[in-house]
Amino acid sequence: MKRTASFKKYYEFRTNLKNIKILLFLVFAGFSVLAPAYAQRAPIDINLIIDGSSSFTAVKNEVITWVSGRLDQILAEGDRVTVWSAGTQSKIIYTGKTEGAPGREAVKKSIRDIAPMGNSPDFSGALRDAATRQSSSYSYTLLISASPAALSSVLSTRQAGLLRFSRVEEFTNWRALVVGLNIDAKVKKSAAAFFAQ
């Protein structure tokens, strides 16, 4: 009788343990499915300023591959994307919201379709335009430069304040800069608010 009672308790314990494992698995599975929905960030402005000068021709395929991979990492549903070709004069070649795979592909296609021309890219015009178009509280600006002297020409203009970058990735014949647009105004505003307390 004692053996039967202890076997019965052991069997109940094993059954309860199995049920707990199933319950934990279901909770974990539910969390895994729902977590990405809660992890989504609010849509932001994404600015891509691509060197449209003749220097871009030699690195175009490498840049397209790298930018496509980067876009897959940073783009979220609803982001507002604007792409500039900074040739002799900067111009917008794409603007729109990312809505699924077709939206991402449209952005990548606009970069593939850039026809490089001229010797010096108009980064100043693109940066100035991007700074005035900001519609969200946060933006991400990526500038691709294939021209060796292009950035120094920006630094010698009134738009030098727009070229505040937080990250530079150097490649063989080109570089990618993450630019903090309007960062000066935001820092001054935050500092004033902090010291006013």
**pLDDT at res. 38:** 42
**pLDDT at res. 41:** 79
**pLDDT at res. 122:** 86
Do 100 and 148 have their domain in common? Answer: yes
Do 25 and 88 have their domain in common? Answer: no
In a domain, 155, yes or no: yes
Do 61 and 139 have their domain in common? Answer: yes
Q: Which of 123, 162, 158, 130 is nearest to 144 (CA)?
A: 123
Do 106 and 87 have their domain in common? Answer: yes
| Residues 6 or more apart whose Cβ sits within 8 Å of residue 96 | 80, 81, 103, 106, 107
Query: How many residues appear in the chain?
Result: 197
What type of residue is 148?
P
Do 173 and 104 have their domain in common? Answer: yes
pLDDT in tens, the chain (197 residues): 555 666 566 566 666 656 666 655 555 555 555 444 445 778 899 999 999 999 999 999 999 999 999 998 989 999 999 999 998 899 999 999 988 888 889 999 999 999 998 888 888 888 889 888 877 777 889 999 988 666 655 555 565 555 566 678 889 889 888 888 765 555 555 555 656 66
In a domain, 153, yes or no: yes
Inter-residue contact 58 to 173 (CB < 8 Å): yes
Tokens 């080109």 map to which residue? 174
Token output for 91: 């111009």
